[in-house]
Structure 1
């Protein structure tokens, strides 16, 4: 069964808190008790040594009465909460802070437990006749003139140790509870800044998968999720544009194929059924040939672009004089220029302009640019082609004085099938792919092409090529 990240976070959080409580109240509690016992042993032994040196020794050296000594020990008992015995060297119990001993009540401690005087501390000592519960016992020697005169024994009930353990455990539990509350608040905060954005991103992915590219994430945070959301929204926008482009692409292909095919089919049928007289058929055969050439050019351009998209453009780099390529390209348009009364002016800063590029592809670029320049130039106008050297680059410019490109169309002319005239009436022969191919070729050379145009005044295309090393 699939579990959400939020549920996993919750279960993980609860498991950690539960594990901490269980650990603290089992193994942790025992560790705390053992630590308290060790601290009590050390503390009581220090107190016992102090009693031996400061109080009990006065009983043997300075003739302090047993009654006075007992009063002092009772005060210490009340302060520390520990029962204190003073035992003579032979084991006779001389003083008990919790019981007033008569001479006939004095006992020998050795008869109770032979290890009482030899062990400095004993845990869980059980003497039912004197203590209601097991106790912690600590023993220190009273030494006078390098001889053991007596022993000071201190007893702490186990219940006191248990109370201390419970107190420390409760304090830690309270701290743990506070920590848990802090973690809950932190968890809620983390949930808001992680799981909530992830759900929004998931919903956005679902919407975009369904084709709703206008769906907005509206993430309020300013972190990586916000950046990711912006990236996804940008991706959706690009997908939307791509989808619109594909629809337009198909519509343009359909239009550009349908028009010549309709003409070819119509004129062919008219000639077959005799609608067009035999003496007029040559004219219509020329139209059919013109449309067939247009279809052939469109197909070739589509295949070229498809190859660029799928495999990338493979360049056959060589060194050649770009001025000579320009001259040969211009020569191929000589008839068209004469017919339209267009003058092509060549302006080269140097006779030889060696470049390192794919000669065939660059000739294709020049052909497309010159074809466009002639197509959109007025009769009795001129086209200027210039080459300039600057910063190890050769810049080639093709400038006409024709119709120009509308300002709103400047950024779109590189799009496939784009034609600045929506009616398509000005360019019946064009496919709308020439400038797309030009852009692809120049980009493949890692160079740039720019356009400057004024509607009604003309257009200038400028592109660069790497200058060949001598």
Structure 2
């Protein structure tokens, strides 16, 4: 079962929040406590140094009575919220800001206590019942250690401060989670919603509903994707129309000759057509058979181009020689219609680099097309010219011409002008499509100029070649 993008975004949100909450209340608490402890050590040590210099040294120099010192230290205790001792050199506590009756010797509990500067988690029965931070600073007078200042504060108070700060951070995290939820919602709007629209459009297009509107207002990759999908739908729609048209044309072009062949064959078999008339109808059957054969060959040729199955055999050859050979194949047709093919070459030999067989097919299609639409007693001009490493081949007739509205459609498969349908029953409407495909495979161009009642000229280019020695 796959997870939807919206569910993934929601899961990511909760994972991020859970990770941040866990990190803040584990590592964050530990780090906060450590930093507060270090800050507290530094603060208390500075205070202890200040007390040693400003107050306690004066006491040991007999410049200040113990009563006055105790009063001053209690004031500082209130400010620091920390217990302050003055301990003499032998470890006896001579003043305590929290218990004036204290009469203890610290060495009785821990003889190494005064050797440290910082002591963490210290517990002394009857004095520090909970873990305590102690900061110890010696008091020097006349270059001798006279005693010590001990400032202590419960570790619990530091932990309480750390929890307080973490609570503030948790509240901030709560507000941040609301902001992050808003950010994820915006991400959902700009990612999931357009994706859902595109998915729904793809489903509609796959069901042949090519008119389904796909509107993406953003100017980003989703817009580009939507445009691509819409374009694909348009192409599929065109392909669907083309396939329907293709089937209709194929059905028509196959059905007509097959109906004639079937009808005349049955008529000859059942005696409807007498023996002396059979030759005439056998010629009709032969004509329709050739028409079917030509249509099948043309379809196979187009299919090979559609699937990139045609491999061009590029050679260097004399295009003028190929034109002469191709023109000779129309000799009988030209005699019947009294049409002359005029060959005009800029040079005696003109070499090109191309697939000779395919180019011969192009020439055949263009000359055949020119003959179909030429009047009797007219001329068809085939010429070659060289310019800028290119060879221009032209086939020009002086026939009925092509209507202006049909010029852009003549390359479409099965397309026939109305004049063509009336004039030529054997044509398949595939000749110019095959011609275009062959020249496109050669990376060459073909253009057409035509005027109704005046004639038509097709011109295509080939890469110029050089005669090998």
Shorter-chain TM-score bucket reads over 0.9
Equivalent residue in structure 1 for 2:260, among 259, 263, 270? 263
Equivalent residue in structure 1 for 2:348, among 351, 362, 366? 351
Structure 1 residues 369-413: Cα deviation after superposition (integer angstroms, max 9, x where no partner): 011111112333332222111111101011222222233332322
Q: Which moved more, 1:399-408 or 1:293-302?
A: 399-408
SS in 1 for 2:421: coil
* Counterpart Cα distance in 2 of 1:76 and 1:382: 123
What are the ranges of 5 or more consecutive residues in structure 1 without an aligned counterpart? none
Equivalent residue in structure 2 for 1:207, among 195, 204, 209? 204
CA contact (8 A) 2:392 2:460 kept: yes
Task: Find out whether 1:438 has 2:439 as its counterpart.
Answer: no
Could you say what the CA RMSD is over the residues aligned between the two structures, in angstroms?
2.1
CA contact (8 A) 2:411 2:436 kept: yes
The alpha-carbon deviation at position 215 of structure 1 amounts to 1.9
* Counterpart Cα distance in 2 of 1:29 and 1:178: 19
What corresponds to 1:376 in structure 2? 373
CA contact (8 A) 2:122 2:128 kept: no
* Counterpart Cα distance in 1 of 2:404 and 2:55: 109
SS in 2 for 1:424: helix
In the superposition, the TM-score normalised over structure 1's length comes to 0.93
The alpha-carbon deviation at position 230 of structure 1 amounts to 1.1
Structure 1 residues 168-194: Cα deviation after superposition (integer angstroms, max 9, x where no partner): 202221332232222111111111111
What corresponds to 1:182 in structure 2? 179
CA contact (8 A) 1:137 1:155 kept: yes
Task: Find out whether 1:95 has 2:95 as its counterpart.
Answer: yes
Equivalent residue in structure 1 for 2:247, among 247, 250, 255? 250
Q: 1:33-52 alignment to 2 at 5 Å?
A: 33-52=33-52
What corresponds to 1:342 in structure 2? 339
CA contact (8 A) 1:313 1:441 kept: no
What corresponds to 2:399 in structure 1? 402
CA contact (8 A) 1:85 1:153 kept: yes
In the superposition, the TM-score normalised over structure 2's length comes to 0.93
The alpha-carbon deviation at position 127 of structure 1 amounts to 4.4
What corresponds to 2:14 in structure 1? 14
Equivalent residue in structure 2 for 1:320, among 317, 321, 324? 317
What are the ranges of 5 or more consecutive residues in structure 2 without an aligned counterpart? none
Q: 1:374 to 1:306 in 2, by over 3 A?
A: same
The alpha-carbon deviation at position 116 of structure 1 amounts to 3.0
* Counterpart Cα distance in 2 of 1:278 and 1:216: 65
Q: 1:63-462 alignment to 2 at 5 Å?
A: 63-101=63-101, 106-127=103-124, 129-130=126-127, 133-310=130-307, 312-421=309-418, 424-462=421-459
* Counterpart Cα distance in 2 of 1:24 and 1:220: 41
* Counterpart Cα distance in 2 of 1:137 and 1:264: 118
Structure 1 residues 49-108: Cα deviation after superposition (integer angstroms, max 9, x where no partner): 22212322222236122233233323322222212111111122222223445xxx5332
The alpha-carbon deviation at position 466 of structure 1 amounts to 0.8
* Counterpart Cα distance in 2 of 1:368 and 1:140: 111
* Counterpart Cα distance in 2 of 1:350 and 1:62: 130
* Counterpart Cα distance in 2 of 1:216 and 1:258: 39
* Counterpart Cα distance in 1 of 2:71 and 2:397: 123
Q: Which moved more, 1:113-122 or 1:365-374?
A: 113-122
* Counterpart Cα distance in 2 of 1:390 and 1:302: 35
Q: 1:469 to 1:46 in 2, by over 3 A?
A: farther
